[in-house]
Amino acid sequence: MSNRATKGVLLVQLGTPDSPKTSDVHKYLTEFLMDPRVLDIPYLGRTLLVKGAIVPKRAAQSAATYSTIWDPQTGSPLMYYSQLQRDLLQAELGDDYHVELAMRYQNPSLEQALQKMEGMLLDSIRVIPLFPQYASATTGSVIDRVMELMRSWQYLPSVSFVSNYCDDEEMATVFANHSQKYDIAQFDHVLFSYHGLPVRQLGKVDPSGKLSCPESGCDSCKSEKKSHCYLSQCYATTRAIVSKLDISNEKYSVCFQSRLGKTPWIQPYTSDALHHLAEKGVKKILVFSPAFVADCIETIDEIQVEYANEFKELGGEEVAMVESLNDDPQWINVLKRLATGTN
């Protein structure tokens, strides 16, 4: 009897440079920002902006930052935890499944991963973007690229995509459990900081082009999960985690980090939230970053170094960061449910 895997699972993370060298960071940033779903402006303008201004200016600075989080033994934290997630999920699923990991940008590439899976003649492939909340610039880009690469396949297995799992109860439990290493009662405020998006991308989901979203989102998006709205799903994730914590509505708030350029992004910005809290006399802040399922440059440096220093300069005392999902066995169980389509 053959033990050949018949079901494929493709985990897709955003990406990381091959090394913290400026040349590798330059390649990574260029590929990332040239994606029309990420920087959604016409090709010529995007090329001039990315290759002529943003990347030449940011590559060396970003490389210096990556060098501070790069482990001598395990390398990129995002890659390290993503590989662990792949290996642990493979062990959970067994020989009937083949689990592959790809990065949307750089290596291991989607092209390499899918080429390997094509040769396995699998009956099915389940694609799981490692982004709990759907956005065109993340999950949408992954699905777009997978479909583009598979278009030339002569044999097409059954293919399915997980578009979001923003309010998965077990995932929320893992985040809540990770906060237990801190005494939440000792913190003045809890921030849920998500990766930001240009406001225009919220409205672009409407093919008529008539949807115009306010910079802080509409009230219904803050209380109701919508499959097409990234902001609404960030609030849904927050509600799911808060429901497992003993904190009042006044003690937490939602904000958005990693802004790029001068166009309006979803607000409130994390930096502005820190300023507002400092003005109110808040001294100690605990931060969740539930847009990320693995610790990475945004959680390790942007929050724990950049924002922490900024808050202290404003008179604050502490910014503590809740560990991401990483290799938690309960998170691997969430991935197993997503891979098998079971509840």
pLDDT tens for residues 117-159? 999 999 999 999 999 999 999 999 999 999 999 999 999 999 9
CA atoms of 29 and 38, how far apart (whole Å): 11
Q: What is the mean pLDDT of the chain?
A: 96
pLDDT tens for residues 291-314? 999 999 999 999 999 999 999 999
Residue 189 pLDDT greater than 90, yes or no: yes
Residue 87 pLDDT greater than 60, yes or no: yes
Residue 289 pLDDT greater than 70, yes or no: yes
* Range with lowest mean pLDDT among 82-96, 109-123, 185-199, 210-224: 210-224
Beta strands at 318-321 and 284-288: parallel, antiparallel or unpaired: parallel
pTM of the entire structure? 0.96
Rounded to 10°, the helix 22-33/55-69 angle is 120
Residue 246 pLDDT greater than 90, yes or no: no
- Give the model's pLDDT for residue 343: 66
CA atoms of 260 and 199, how far apart (whole Å): 12
Which residues lie across from 189 on neighbouring strands? 285
CA atoms of 238 and 104, how far apart (whole Å): 26
Residue 261 pLDDT greater than 90, yes or no: no
Query: How many of the other CB atoms lie within 10 Å of CB of 338?
Result: 18
Percent of the chain scoring above 70 in pLDDT: 99
Handedness of CA 228, 135, 290, 329 (dihedral sign): positive
Q: If pLDDT is split at 50, 70 and 90, which confidence band does 1 have?
A: very low
- Give the model's pLDDT for residue 260: 85
Q: If pLDDT is split at 50, 70 and 90, which confidence band does 259 have?
A: confident
CA atoms of 278 and 313, how far apart (whole Å): 10
CA atoms within 13 A on the CB side of 311: 29
Element (H or E) spanning 284, and its range? strand 284-288
Element (H or E) spanning 163, and its range? none
Residue 40 pLDDT greater than 60, yes or no: yes
- Can you read off the two tokens belonging to residue 327? 């290799």
Residue that has been written with the tokens 């396949």 in this structure: 153
